[in-house]
Structure 1
Amino acid sequence: MKYQWILFDADETLFDFDIFAGLKLMFSRFDIDFDNNDFAFYQSVNKQLWVDYQQGLIDAAQLQHTRFLHWSEKLGVTTKRLNSDFLAAMADICQPLPGAKKLVSSLEGKATLGIITNGLTELQNVRLERTGFKSSFEHVVISEQFGKAKPDVSIFEHTFELMGNPDKNTVLMVGDNLHSDILGGVNAGIDTCWLNHHGKETVDGITPTFEVKDLHQLHDELHALK
């Protein structure tokens, strides 16, 4: 195996992350039929918040508060309650992506695995437990806990320290997001693999070391590398 360390993103890399399904389940528990128009409004706020978070303009607490402000006022409950309910619903519907279990299982004993995620702490730990992945990952670094989000180089450097500062040529970052996972890995000086589910073009001059369309292809590519 070429790489001694393989670092993964979480959402849409290891785990399915169907926001609409999670919101629909959460709001059904308030007897609300959350529809496509509601989702469009939510995303009009949420997407920009995640961009701001990744750029270090806001912190995780501000993101979680602001994205549910409209519904908090409408339902008369706190944004903190809505966030916890949402993350619980996301945990309830969480599934590993196709090929994730086979890939992780095949790498154990051949490379040491870790996760660097911009996702929120309350969800990550529950998902790792429920999917049986928890024991497979040596380190799980969560931006909300660390205080900086990918692509900030400091979250990668923090992870390298936890790993004992290995030779960067032996480390691979795998993720679906060009701007957080791939750019972050490139800036940190490690190889990157773009999990390009939808056949998109690279943008802004961000160039991964290689790319795959799914985790089945990644399994084959990694085991073919010498």
Structure 2
Amino acid sequence: MIFFDIDSTLLDHERAEKMAAIEFLKVNKEELKFNESDFVKLWLELSLQYFNKFLARELSFQEQRRMRMKELFGNNLSDRLADSKFNDYLSFYKENWVVYEDVIPCLEKLKKQGTSLGIISNGEYKQQMEKLETVNIHKYFDHVITSSQLGVSKPDITIFQQACHQANVNINECYYIGDRMETDAIPSKNAGMKGIWINRNDRTSHLDVHVIHSLNELDAIIN
């Protein structure tokens, strides 16, 4: 069985987040006195900071969204208004959800070969399912497993072990493809899977795990 990460592996998360941040700045230009590049940088920093607090179970999924808004607009911002502003951002983010060009051909080929496919993601289940459905790739996956369901997140090897248990597959016969070396490839390998790092950004390789730069290269590894 082959498991995939979602963001920055199948879905172009960086592009969607950047474009959404730019649109959000335009809507709130009277309150947010930033140039475009500085605001995108700040947004990405806040996104990482507070999402990691969610993964560490320090904040709920809703709370980490609110805290991002309060960092931008001030702590006196009400929860209701923080939710409203984040929903504005979220609408821009969803409008920019697209998969990479190599995703559909890869998934189609694997399915035609009879390969079972799954998802292991650190995201919140409802939103990750919405992503898969919006970009019309949910039909390829037999199992979608997220950290919000299991209460444990990558790089903890437990999430990979529990995912294989839920899918009723032998972990040693499974592959995991993700865009982060330390979060995806190495811990999935340590859990017993065949970890694959998809590095779309440059030609860097790694001695400990398989590295691909496009999903077009996956077939050479699994076959």
Report the TM-score when normalising by structure 1: 0.81
| Alignment match, 1:126 | 130
Gap runs ≥5 in structure 1:
none
- Three-state SS of the structure 2 residue aligned to 1:140 is strand
Percent identity of paired positions between Structure 1 and Structure 2: 21
Alpha-carbon deviation of 1:170?
1.5
What amino acid is aligned across from residue 116 of structure 1 in structure 2?
I
Q: How do 1:147-226 residues align onto structure 2 when only pairs under 5 Å count?
A: 147-164=151-168, 166-199=169-202, 201=204, 207-208=208-209, 210-218=210-218, 220-222=219-221, 225=223
Distance 1:222 1:202, change over 3 A: closer
| Bigger relative contact order, structure 1 or 2 (CA pairs below 8 A, ≥6 apart) | 1
Contact 2:12 2:100 in 1 (8 A): yes
How many angstroms apart in 2 are the aligned matches of 1:137 and 1:83? Answer: 29
How many angstroms apart in 1 are the aligned matches of 2:118 and 2:27? Answer: 34
Alpha-carbon deviation of 1:82?
3.5
**1:93 equivalent in alignment to 2:96:** yes
The root-mean-square deviation of aligned C-alpha atoms, in Å, is 2.8
- Three-state SS of the structure 2 residue aligned to 1:44 is helix
Alpha-carbon deviation of 1:214?
1.0
Match of 2:83 among 71, 74, 80: 80
Query: Aligned pair count?
Result: 214
Contact 2:21 2:39 in 1 (8 A): no
Range with bigger deviation, 183-192 or 114-123 = 114-123
What amino acid is aligned across from residue 107 of structure 2 in structure 1?
V
**1:6 equivalent in alignment to 2:2:** yes
Match of 1:25 among 16, 23, 48: 23
Alpha-carbon deviation of 1:176?
0.6
How many angstroms apart in 2 are the aligned matches of 1:184 and 1:80? Answer: 34
How many angstroms apart in 2 are the aligned matches of 1:23 and 1:46? Answer: 11
Alpha-carbon deviation of 1:66?
2.5
| Alignment match, 2:141 | 137
Contact 1:8 1:114 in 2 (8 A): yes
Alpha-carbon deviation of 1:128?
1.3
**1:114 equivalent in alignment to 2:118:** yes
| Alignment match, 2:65 | 64
Distance 1:146 1:6, change over 3 A: same
Alpha-carbon deviation of 1:222?
4.6
Contact 1:50 1:63 in 2 (8 A): yes
Alpha-carbon deviation of 1:183?
2.4
Structure 1, residues 69-104: CA drift from partner, whole Å, max 9, x if none? 223538765333344433332221111112100000
What amino acid is aligned across from residue 158 of structure 1 in structure 2?
Q
Range with bigger deviation, 114-123 or 71-80 = 71-80
- Three-state SS of the structure 1 residue aligned to 2:74 is helix
| Alignment match, 1:47 | 48
What amino acid is aligned across from residue 16 of structure 1 in structure 2?
D
How many angstroms apart in 1 are the aligned matches of 2:6 and 2:67? Answer: 23
Distance 1:152 1:144, change over 3 A: same
What amino acid is aligned across from residue 217 of structure 2 in structure 1?
Q
Distance 1:187 1:84, change over 3 A: farther
Structure 1, residues 129-186: CA drift from partner, whole Å, max 9, x if none? 122211110111122232221111222122112111x222310000111121112202
Structure 1, residues 30-71: CA drift from partner, whole Å, max 9, x if none? 5668722222222333333445555x3634535333322223
